[in-house]
Amino acid sequence: LEFQERGDQTVIFLQGQLARSLPAADRDRVLELTRSGRPLVLDFSGLQGFSGVGLRKLLQFIRHVRAAGGSLT
């Protein structure tokens, strides 16, 4: 993952293959951003593909961010 601040938003660039859970350091960074109240933007332009497991993990991640009061676009 790559993180970039743009105004009041944080853009999260997904790259390569989405096939498993996020590394712990990236997950912690995203949760920290969620708690800060900054809107998060997911950029899939660098994603080359994903597995069923990767899609499931992404959906779980989105639910978790929303449950924590965060927003994703």
d(CA 22, CA 40): 16
d(CA 29, CA 54): 19
Q: Do 36 and 2 touch, CB atoms closer than 8 A? A: no
- Predicted pLDDT at 43: 94
pLDDT tens digits for 10-58? Answer: 999 988 888 877 788 888 888 888 888 888 899 999 999 888 888 888 8
pTM for the complete prediction?
0.79
d(CA 32, CA 18): 21
